[in-house]
Structure 1
Amino acid sequence: MTQRIVVMGVSGCGKSSVGAALSQALGIPYRDGDDLHPAVNVARMRAGEALTDADRWPWLERVAQDLARLAPVIVGCSALRRVYRDRIRAGAGGPVLFVHLAGSREVIAARMAARSGHFMPASLLDSQFATLEPPGPDEAAITVDINQPLDRQVAEILRRLELRDR
């Protein structure tokens, strides 16, 4: 089966770090979903404006297109709501596994405060958590607690991928 993996979660949860490390471990490319945002979306977020569903649809289309075109591939994408994940699955050209990086608001806020150079301000974190619908039991998803070192997060994902493939 061609792997299509979306590393998902609220801003600041570690999608880029986990995606890059998982890419190295699996030997498949990683694509940062932030690079797929239309410029107007980046400008809105940089200005502290939360995106609407209408703002997100073109971005989600790009994520789905990359999953279809580049598979095997890992894409970092917040994919906060079930309808967003459904849209990604519909356009991905095959099965998609979502890896949900879950953590408390406090842990993620501290991470966001420590990073520099990212367009997403910490002031939008509450809107991210308000929008988040964790994957349901009927979705192809793995949830990983981010309150552990990066290497342990990746090891847990790899272990759970192996269990899924048996």
Structure 2
Amino acid sequence: MRCLIVVDYQVDFVTGSLGFPAALRLEHPIAAKIARYHANGDQVVFTLDAHGENYRLTREGKYLPVEHCRRGTPGCALYGSVAQAKHSQDICFEKDTYGSPELFDWLRQQSFDVLEFVGVVTQVCVLANVMLAQTALPEASIVIDTDCVASPDPALHRAALDVLESLHIHVTRR
């Protein structure tokens, strides 16, 4: 069985406070991929960056002092056609840091053969959640479609893809 994990494709990362042009270009390819997974009866999961009022007091907030994905704000919502592609049975994991411990715990209870990751930001939350998934399901094949991940920093995006490949992650369309 296959599982698509959509990482942080939220308003604030696309057009909001941390938005960047490359993220906007992912909207339709990610929505199409979600539709294919649903049509095949495969699992779709979302991670959602979600911060509270004390964000700037956290370790992350001290290094990245830009308010984003605050719970209850429009910036925390899934973006555009990706939000529309989400089905009610899809699972969402809120997280207040880069990786989702709840996603890790959930994956440990699953028996997926393939995990595919899409979303933003390649060298931060995508990479962190891939590492958690690889630890939770060490025998699963993990795939990154380069048409469906992005970073505001092209050099760090490429470096993250290099690191992922070195960890035996299947990086497609590179």
Shorter-chain TM-score bucket reads 0.3 to 0.5
More helix by share: 1
Give the alignment's TM-score, normalised by structure 2: 0.34
More strand by share: 2
Higher relative contact order (CA 8 A, sep 6+): 1
